[in-house]
Homo-oligomer: A and B are copies of this chain.
Amino acid sequence: MTGFATVLPAGRKRRGEGHTRREEILQAAKDLFLEQGYDSTTIRRIADRVGISAPALYLYFKDKEALMLALCDQTFAHLIEAVGEIERTVADPLERVRRFGEAYVQFGLSHPDEYRLVFLGANIPEAIRKVGHKAATDDPTKPGVGGALVFKRLVGILTELEASGTKLNYPPDTCGELCWMGLHGLVSAFILKPEFPWSDRELLVKGMLDIHLKGILRT
């Protein structure tokens, strides 16, 4: 019966294992948010799925917004990792921009629910949306700065592009904003209106990247 102690009690967590419960809550909340949206997902339902009472949730998250916030950071981390991979492997600055765009779109389209959660701010009160770019520190562990981090990477790539001798039509940050807006518009359109008879997806992605690269580079 000695091995019995290592089996999870299914009810209560062991003494230092609160963080485990915290992650269970996060997973359940993520599932439910994606299934039913933010507003329709109640604290009680999340707690039910985890197998605890509703107030127990407040031991791990200050309120419902904090829960959503934690999920946002989680999703941002994946995207930041993908972007970092490109910066590590692609040398040519111009190619980097294109690859960034492709990665960004592909991330959005292959994680439509998460993208919606984070970038579309669907059904999220305004207080949450605010943190996406707060002060923009470089510390990815701080909560709520993921959006600014991704964007800063893009601006960084564009700055290098300019430093490499390529003339731009706008300052790097303005170029970054324009590019991001175009890509975001593309991704959100596919996600929000999937049943609309859009033109060929590949064509639109390539077209959007071509348009923005052509529009940004001084001819």
Across the two chains, which residue of chain B brings its CB closest to A214?
B215
Task: Name the residue of chain B whose CB is nearest to the CB of A191.
Answer: B121
The answer for the CA separation of A193 and B126 in the assembled complex, in Å, is 9
User: Interface of chain A, helix or strand or loop or mixed?
Assistant: helix
Residue on B nearest A185 in the bound complex, by CB: B185
The answer to whether B177 touches A121, judged by C-beta atoms less than 8 angstroms apart, is no
Number of interface residues of A (CB under 8 A): 47
| A185: B residues at CB distance < 8 A | 180-186, 188
A161 at the B interface (CB under 8 A): no
Copies of this protein in the assembly total 2
Q: Taking the complex as formed, is A4 at the interface, i.e. its CB lies under 8 A from any CB of chain B? A: no
A170 contacts the other chain (CB 8 A): yes
Q: Could you say which of A22-30, A56-64, A194-202 contacts chain B?
A: A194-202
Chain A positions within 8 Å of B, measured between CB atoms, are 37, 39, 119-123, 125-126, 129-130, 132-133, 147-148, 169-171, 173-174, 177-178, 180-186, 188-189, 192-193, 195-196, 198-199, 203-204, 207-208, 210-212, 214-216
